[in-house]
Amino acid sequence: MSKVAWGFTCSIDGFIAGPGHDMSWLSASEPMPEAMTAGMAGEVGVIISGRSGYDAAKAQQAERDEMTSEAYGGAWSGTEFILTHRPEEVADDPAIVPLNVDIVEAIRRAKEIAGGKDVQIISADIARQALEHDLIDELQVFVAPVFLGDGTRIFDVPGGRRYDWELVEMYEGAERSFGRTYRPKRG
């Protein structure tokens, strides 16, 4: 059965992208064993991304390296949904499926076509929306040993909102980057 996972690598100071969605800082992360990356990528059937990240990736295409140019460094293949209010602007990109729907509908559609594999969210804003609807089953966290000082925060809710998580797994081979899996602590 598909689960919805929010997976990310962040900086020590809590950013998943630098200013202007810069991802060059990921080179400071610990390289993961190929088998681990391939294993994680193989569990994912659908990725849900946001339009800002998509636009930034396209604009930075010439500057991005192997690790940041494709999901899981190119080890993943599947369907990528881009949530956007202007799907017609990216409709000619055969690598994605643009959707103008809310997060509940996006996840429903993603699970429908994931074929039992997981749905992976890789956008902080989309993950925040999914959390509001209690739709995230798992949090996959890696921390790169770098401070960014500015950029896209992992979780940003003005006025705050608390979500508690319980540790499920520590990724062997990702000790330097504190690789961990958590599940929502419910009840």
Q: What pLDDT does residue 154 have?
A: 92
pTM over 0.95: no
For residue 141, give the H/E element and its range. strand 138-144
* Domains defined for the chain, CATH in brackets: 4-184 (3.40.430.10)
Structure confidence at residue 56 (pLDDT): 81
Predicted local confidence at residue 88, as pLDDT: 94
Cα distance between residue 187 and residue 184, in whole Å: 10
10 Å Cβ neighbour count for 74? Answer: 12
- The per-residue DSSP string of 44-82 comes to EEEEEEEHHHHHHHHHTTTT--HHHHSGGGGT--SEEEE
Give SS3 for 184.
strand
10-residue mean pLDDT profile of the chain (187 residues): values are 92 93 83 79 92 82 61 79 95 93 97 96 94 95 93 89 92 78 88
CB 161 within 8 A of CB 154: no
